[in-house]
Amino acid sequence: MTTVEALPSAPSGRGRQRALPDKWYRGMLGVVALLFGALAIWFLVAIIIQARPAFSTLGFSWIVGKVWNPTHNQFGLLPFILGTIESTAIAVVLAVPIGLGTAIALAFLVPSRVRPALSTTVELLAAVPSVVYGLWGLIVLAPLFREHVEPFLTSVLGWTGLFNGPDRGVGLLLAGVILAIMILPTMVAISRDVLIVVPTEQVEGAMALGATRSQVLRKVVVPGARTGILGAFTLATGRALGETVAVAMVIGNAPFIAHSLKSSAATLPSLIVNNFGESTGTELSALFGAGLVLLVIGILVNALARWLVWSTGADAAGAELGR
């Protein structure tokens, strides 16, 4: 009986043997993916549940309230939302040109002998724990800013109104600078990698038309890598938005809307880390709400980056790079 059945079905039997591990493999991957999805949903739902009391007692307007004063039951998040966006904006404005310039230099201009050493340095900087950056910012940079950088900027750019108030060292500006230093390695490392893979034929096409080295870089290589550069920008912005400890150490932690770059301020993450230990009830729930708002800002930045990629029609270039 068995032999009769086994003989004609031998080829398909072998096929089934091959198919079985494949099925297992797919099943395992499916389970892992499901677990991950479940984790993400659980995480999101938990935050929403924890934040709900704040919404049910305060409505929705507390999110844009200007005053954070838990003893008077005021939990306005606007100062922290603005502090987060402002410190991130300072960081991005400083880090994007410097990071892109460094990436171009590393990819094309630096002699190949010193290139590995410089690249390793950049990657090491990305691995430094943020608390170390915070410590360095507080102990080394803050006095420097108070004595030299802020007085200088005030004398040169004081007319803009951005540098009103006393020189404190700690504050929004220092937080932005520390964040810039922290996201630079990310900007540089990813931008360099995507610049390097712009096809040689594109570079040669421009060269053959009489383009100078700088024209090749500006008109062909950087535009060709823009999808990847936008990716670097998104990752770096995401890190700056969420960075907690280093910012909390140098921003001054004042729950007010900053009226100057030298003002002390606070961000959503620094608010959470400074208060979670002693918060209960509505305040704790409001901290979860702050986390939720941070999440939304992160999603918006991501969506913006995707829209930029899409609207500049970089898909073709991206596909080209992806090959």
Partner 1 sequence: MTDASSRTPHAEESLTVQAEQAIIEPPTGEVVMTLRDVAVSFAGKTAVRDVSFDVAAGEVTALIGPSGSGKTTLLRALNRMHDTVRSASVTGSVHLGDLDVYGPDTDATLLRSRVGMVFQRPNPFPTMSIYDNAVSGLRFNGVRKKSLLDEAAESSLIAAALWDSVKDRLKAHGRTLSGGEQQRLCIARALAVEPEVLLMDEPTSALDPIATKRIEELVGELKNRVTIVIVTHNMQQAMRVSDRCAFLLMGDDKAGELIEFGPTSKLFSEPTDPRTLDYVNGRFG
Nearer residue to partner 1 within complex by CB, 132 or 209: 209
**Of 200, 194, 190, 285, nearest in space to 236 by CA:** 190
209 binds partner 1 (CB under 8 A): yes
Q: Least CB distance from residue 117 to partner 1, whole Å? A: 19
Residues in the chain: 323
Nearer residue to partner 1 within complex by CB, 215 or 302: 215
Q: Least CB distance from residue 195 to partner 1, whole Å? A: 14
SS3 163: coil
Nearer residue to partner 1 within complex by CB, 5 or 204: 204
Residues 186 to 205: which contact partner 1 by CB under 8 A? 199, 201-205
Sign of CA dihedral 315, 316, 319, 321: negative
Contact 197, 321 (CB under 8 A): yes
Contact 264, 252 (CB under 8 A): yes
206 binds partner 1 (CB under 8 A): yes
Q: Least CB distance from residue 310 to partner 1, whole Å? A: 14
Nearer residue to partner 1 within complex by CB, 206 or 266: 206
Instruction: Please choose, out of 82-90, 174-182, 210-218, 240-248, the segment that lies near partner 1 by the rule CB under 8 A.
Output: 210-218
Nearer residue to partner 1 within complex by CB, 119 or 202: 202
113 binds partner 1 (CB under 8 A): no
316 binds partner 1 (CB under 8 A): yes
53 binds partner 1 (CB under 8 A): no
Q: Least CB distance from residue 14 to partner 1, whole Å? A: 41
Tell me the backbone φ, ψ of residue 8, rounded to 5 degrees: -65, -25
99 binds partner 1 (CB under 8 A): no
x/- letters, 212..251, toward partner 1 (CB under 8 A): x--x---xx--xx-x-------------------------
The C-alpha angle with vertex 164 and arms to 159 and 169, in degrees rounded to 5, equals 125
Q: Least CB distance from residue 312 to partner 1, whole Å? A: 8
Distance CA 253, CA 265 (A): 5
Tell me the backbone φ, ψ of residue 176, rounded to 5 degrees: -65, -40
The single-letter DSSP state of residue 64 is: G
Distance CA 69, CA 284 (A): 13
Sign of CA dihedral 264, 270, 272, 273: negative
Q: Which residues of 165-197 are buried (b: 16+ CB within 10 A; e: fewer)?
A: eebbbbbbbbbbbbbbbbbbbbbbbbbbbbbee
311 binds partner 1 (CB under 8 A): no
Nearer residue to partner 1 within complex by CB, 127 or 208: 208
Q: Least CB distance from residue 225 to partner 1, whole Å? A: 10
Choosing from 11, 21, 116, 210, the residue that interacts with partner 1 (CB under 8 A) is 210
Distance CA 54, CA 68 (A): 13
Nearer residue to partner 1 within complex by CB, 185 or 318: 318
Nearer residue to partner 1 within complex by CB, 138 or 207: 207
Distances in whole angstroms, Cα of residue 293 to Cα of each of 62, 77, 269: 12, 9, 10
207 binds partner 1 (CB under 8 A): yes
Nearer residue to partner 1 within complex by CB, 226 or 239: 226
Q: Which stretches of the chain bind partner 1, using CB under 8 A?
A: 112, 199, 201-212, 215, 219-220, 223-224, 226, 313-314, 316-317, 320
